[in-house]
Amino acid sequence: MAPFNRGVYLPSVAPPKQTDRTRAASSDDSWRAIINALPDAALTIDANGVISHQNEKIPSLFPEMRVGKAMDQLQRDPDLMSAIAKALEAPCLAIVVKFVERFPFTRTIEATVTRLDPRLESACLVITFRDLTEHERLERMRADFVANASHELRTPLAALQGYVETLQGPARDDEAARVRFLGIMLSQAQRMSRLVDDLLSLSRVEMRAHLTPQGRADISDIAADVVQSLESIASQQGTAIELTRLNDPAFIRADRDEVVQALQNLVHNALKYGRENGRVRVIVTRQNDAKSGSSKLSVSVKDDGHGIEANHLPRLVERFYRVNPASSREKGGTGLGLAIVKHIMARHRGDLTIASELGSGSTFTLSFDELPVG
* CATH number of the domain encompassing residue 142: 1.10.287.130
- pLDDT score for 8: 36
- Count of alpha carbons within 13 Å of 277, Cβ hemisphere only? 0
Pair (43, 95) in one structural domain: yes
Q: DSSP 3-state assignment of 79?
A: helix
- H/E stretch holding 192 reads helix 175-207
State which of 109, 131, 153 marks the end of a domain: 131
- Give the residue from 130, 368, 163, 121 showing the smallest Cα distance to 256: 368
Tell me: do 126 and 152 sit in the same domain.
no
Say how many C-beta atoms besides its own lie within 10 A of residue 367's C-beta.
19
* Same domain, yes or no: 228 and 201: no
Predicted local distance difference test score (pLDDT) of residue 147 = 77
pLDDT at residue 9, as a whole number: 38
Pick from 99, 131, 163: which residue ends a domain? 131
- Written as one string, the DSSP assignment of 224-287 is HHHHHHHHHHHHHTT-EEEEE--SS--EEE--HHHHHHHHHHHHHHHHHHS-TT-EEEEEEEEE
Report the alpha-carbon angle 360-365-371, nearest 5: 155
Q: What is the pLDDT of residue 297?
A: 96
For residue 373, CA distances in Å to 41, 218, 219, 251 come to: 46, 10, 13, 7
Residue at which a domain ends, from 131, 148, 168: 131
- Can you tell me the distance from the alpha carbon of 114 to that of 123, in angstroms, rounded to the nearest whole number? 11
Q: How far is it, in rounded angstroms, from Cα 176 to Cα 21?
A: 99
Look up residue 292 and give its amino acid.
Answer: S
Residues 360 and 282 in one domain: yes
Same domain for 239 and 354? Answer: yes
Report whether the peptide linkage leading into residue 3 is cis, meaning its omega lies within 30 degrees of zero.
Answer: no
Identity of the residue numbered 159: A
Range of the domain at 65: 20-131
Give pLDDT, residue 203: 85
Do 63 and 166 belong to one domain? Answer: no
Q: Is residue 78 part of a domain?
A: yes
The rounded distance, in Å, linking the Cα atoms of 122 and 37 is 19
Query: What's the order of all strands across the beta sheet hosting 125-131?
Result: 51-54, 41-45, 125-131, 107-115, 94-101
* Cα R_g (the chain), whole angstroms: 32
Say if residue 113 is in the same domain as residue 42. yes
Q: Are residues 126 and 138 in the same domain?
A: no
Torsion over CA of 248, 252, 258 and 259, rounded to 10 degrees?
-50
For residues 46 and 67, what is the distance between their CA atoms, to the nearest angstrom?
11
Residue 202 included in any domain: yes
pTM: 0.64
Counted domains in the chain: 3
Tell me, yes or no, whether 52 and 25 share the same domain: yes
The per-residue pLDDT string of the chain (374 residues; one tens digit each, 9 = 90 and over) reads: 444 344 433 344 444 455 544 454 455 667 888 889 899 999 998 888 899 999 999 998 888 888 999 888 888 888 888 888 888 877 667 889 998 888 777 889 999 998 887 677 677 889 999 999 888 887 887 777 777 777 778 888 888 888 888 888 888 888 888 888 888 888 888 888 888 888 888 888 888 888 889 999 999 999 999 999 999 889 988 999 999 999 999 999 999 999 999 999 999 999 988 888 889 999 999 998 767 678 999 999 999 988 999 889 989 998 888 887 777 766 667 788 899 999 999 999 999 999 998 888 999 999 999 998 76
**What tens digit of pLDDT does each residue of 282-317 get?**
999 999 876 767 899 999 999 998 899 988 998 999
- For residue 92, the model assigns a pLDDT of 67
With contact defined as beta carbons under 8 Å apart, do 161 and 189 qualify? no
Say which CATH number the domain at 49 has.
3.30.450.20
**181 and 285 part of one domain:** no
Same-domain pairing of 227 and 374? yes
Q: Give the span between the Cα atoms of 53 and 294, in whole angstroms.
A: 46
Residue 4 lies in a domain: no
pLDDT of 41 reads: 92
